[in-house]
Structure 1
């Protein structure tokens, strides 16, 4: 059976110039987009009430409303909808104002067609709508926000094996979402009506882990003042998730293997075994092959747990999912804290997409929580993201400002080098004294401030 082609992205073009509309519609349609048009701000808002495009292209000069005012209204109604503003009357203050208010880009006509298509593609990639799972058949994967091919393949495999009772070993870096995947597999299984119990084998002291897993009888050891039902019994009929199984002590690995073979647990201090019906999912960030080679993990237990392996990619290996996850987390955290934060500024979202993420999805959530708590604007700015990522802020100057700064620094160095002697400084700069004095005046630099006391006295004597 042939695969259905993906639906082309829907763009809304707002402009009252019929020639521009015709030209852009031809160009955008040829690039594979579906284009709707509106000739006024009100017509655009009416269309947005009926359908939701993936992106808006709007002229700044419209017959019934200023384009920036229209943008503000679109932002208020649809905070995550990317908007690119177009104008034949562009100026720097308007562009700065538009981007500060959250416009994805501000292009001045006539613009390069390739540049426009690149901006559209970038906006669609960064602001793709979150695939929040609402369909009943996909409810099992709630919380697994993704649109990457890598994750799509993994989830298809996970759903397939979820329908069996096979033990599954989930491999992945710390923070990559192994427990989230385990919970999804449980929801997709025939055991979804029964408990899902998770335990971190590396977080519980060895002397307590056996009691936690298998239970104990009253009086079995000091402090055992009552019978305790272990996690295996608590998960009866359902799923037990053993996180960081690679950190389980060897002595306990032997007992776990016996439980899996006999399908029964013997609580500490009990002479009788209790039958259990539990599916085992386990996870680790360790290299278990190396651990087995070093005698730190039992080979027979490994094969009992590893009937099926699922490898969860690191966040840096599925970067196209970062904007979706970031916006999903931001909406969750903003609702939790009652904050009016609607999204990320385009450069902030791009910074998140390009960050290394050694802590994976867990680190991304922490960063989003921090910026949400500190943001004072509807859109999270780049500076807050850089702060949360501990990335030094880079000051970006206009070319004119950069030249001014360089020129002043250069003059200061020359005056220091020549101890404030204008004739020597002008000669080194290969400029005549009159021109050099003008440069000093422009930058408010007084040569006498760079002279030593002796030199200043000589200069004063010359003037008398």
Structure 2
């Protein structure tokens, strides 16, 4: 139950009395003598109720009500009025005030109105939270495409971790989408409006690595002309994404560990420490602990980076996502070119499903673009050690079920008619493939 209350009144005796009544009843009370001070310190999405006198010097209660409702139309505001202000207060209620209390009022009257207002506020905030979660989930589904169980689990993990102030290690093969997942962890979290800085550790010569990461002062070394801000400092307040972290030189690993521990850094050639607040997301193909055991990576840094771990499955382990991803990339390429993507034939789809995709999503995107250009991107040489016939049939069946569910927006009867399946058989197949009707409902 919410219990936060703000009281705005220019009379010290009223403020003291109201604070005493509310505090004894278990409420958390914040007092202001001026409406301007209340506005300056009111947190966004304040989880409580504002109680304000009407007549005050400077900004009065009605002006405060107008400002508060402009910022948050659902914030309950209870007005305190003198006898001559009652008609004014009634008009204010028509303009959105939750209630008004005529002075002098009893503690019971105030507490009753306040509790009802807080109950309403709680419902509004919970409804807001559910809508925001649904919106985030919908946005993420269009960013991390796929309906396989592994992809659905990954999206849930991303939403959970995005809001947590912890470093994350992403493991996955080349081309599996590690940077896209890192970007989602940033974009769907509280640092979204701050910098997202990406650095590929394998692409930087070892002699330049320290300057790239920490920056330098003018004249710090030969050729260091002018001051340069490093990636760590540039990411201050936001997220630093370190791709192929296993390639970072051991000397720089020690310095990065110190930055993580102390939240401070020093540019090359400088003696002054700079405080930084950043989240580090690292990506790797090999197991960092195995790299540490082999002497190629610092074990203490591996633990610092791997507070939470996300594993991206290779495309060959989520074949049911291949048609959806291929269609997405082909359509995007066709739109860029101002043309229509040619449809996939049955044999072409089968070829997509049986290919091993060693380059993962990156390779698939390239094949889809070639297909959109009419360059035969689906004519892929199939590796001999592909999945078994049973696995291919399972993958194709799952894709047919998903296509029918999408086509009919989750209407089971229509799906049964399209696929010519009895209800029980359809339910069993949906359960086996981890398909849920609610994921396909038309929520527009």
> TM bucket by the smaller chain?
0.5 to 0.7
Give the SS at the match of 1:363: helix
Cα shift readout 1:126-181 (whole Å, capped 9, x = no counterpart): xxxxxxx9945532454211100111112112211111111110111111000001
1:369 Cα deviation after fit = 1.7
- Which residue in 1 is equivalent to 2:328? 328
Report the count of equivalent residues. 251
- Alpha-carbon distance between aligned partners in 2 of 1:138 and 1:237, rounded to the nearest angstrom: 26
8 Å CA contact retained: 2:340, 2:372: no
SS at match of 1:145: coil
Partner of residue 185, structure 1: 185
CA distance, structure 2, for counterparts of residue 296 and residue 147 of structure 1: 37
- Supply the distance in 1 between the matched residues of 2:175 and 2:267 (Cα, whole angstroms): 32
Change over 3 Å in CA distance of 1:384–1:138 after alignment to 2? closer
**Other structure's SS at 1:385 match:** coil
Q: State the Cα distance separating 1:339 from its structure 2 match.
A: 2.8
Q: Secondary structure at the match of 1:157?
A: helix
- Specify the alignment match of 1:119 in structure 2: none
Output one character per residue of 1:387-425: Cα deviation in whole Å (capped at 9) or x when no partner. xx2459xxxxxxxxxxxxxxxxxxxxxxxxxxxxxxxxx
Q: Does the 8 Å contact 1:241/1:282 carry over to 2? A: yes
Local SS of the residue matching 1:159: helix
Paired residue for 2:216? 216
SS of aligned partner of 2:165? coil
Deviation readout 1:258-286 (Å, 9 max, x if unpaired) = 11111011111111111111001111001
CA-to-aligned-CA distance 1:313-332 (integer Å, 9 cap, x gap): 00001101000000000011
TM-score, scaled to structure 1 = 0.52
Q: C-alpha displacement at 1:343, in angstroms?
A: 3.1
Helix, strand or coil for the counterpart of 2:216? coil
Q: Which residue number in structure 1 is paired with residue 202 of structure 2? A: 202
Residue 174 of structure 1: aligned partner: 174
Question: CA separation in 2, counterparts of 1:325 and 1:137?
Answer: 18
Q: Whole-Å Cα distance in 2 between the matches of residues 284 and 254 of structure 1?
A: 18
The answer (yes or no) to whether the contact 1:199–1:241 under 8 Å persists in 2 is yes
**Closer, same or farther in 2 for the Cα pair 1:207/1:141, shift >3 Å?**
farther
CA 318–391 in structure 1, closer or farther in 2 if over 3 Å, else same: closer
Q: Which residue of 2 aligns with 1:337?
A: 337
Do the aligned partners of 1:220 and 1:268 also contact (CA within 8 Å) in 2?
yes
Aligned equivalents of 1:140, 1:239: Cα separation in 2:
18
CA distance in 1, matches of 2:227, 2:198: 21
Contact 2:351–2:382 (8 Å) recurs in 1? no
Instruction: Tell me how far apart the structure 2 counterparts of residues 343 and 223 of structure 1 sit (CA, whole Å).
Output: 55
**Aligned pairs (5 A) from 1:42-81:** none
In structure 1, C-alpha distance between the alignment counterparts of 2:156 and 2:137, rounded to whole Å: 13
Q: TM-score, normalised by structure 2?
A: 0.54
Structure showing greater radius of gyration is 1
Map of 2:250 onto structure 1: 250
1:184 deviates by 0.7
Determine the C-alpha separation between the residues in 2 that align with 1:142 and 1:311. Answer: 20
1:289–1:146 CA distance, 2 compared to 1 (3 A): same
Aligned to 1:385: 378
In the TM superposition, residue 374 of structure 1 has moved relative to its aligned partner by 2.9
Native 8 Å contact 1:141 1:184 kept in 2:
no
Unaligned runs of 5+ in 2: 1-132, 384-444
Question: Are the aligned partners of 2:214 and 2:265 in contact in 1 as well (CA < 8 Å)?
Answer: yes
Name the SS for the 2:229 alignment partner: coil
Tell me which residue corresponds to 2:146: 146
Q: Which runs of 5+ in 1 are unaligned?
A: 1-132, 376-382, 393-464
CA distance in structure 2 between the partners assigned to 1:138 and 1:267 by the alignment: 42
Residue deviations 1:211-231, cap 9 Å, x none?
111111111112211100111
Rounded to whole Å, the distance in 2 between the matches of 1:366 and 1:165 is 35
CA contact (8 A) 2:331 2:340 kept: no
CA distance in 1, matches of 2:326, 2:228: 41
C-alpha deviation, 1:348, in angstroms = 1.1
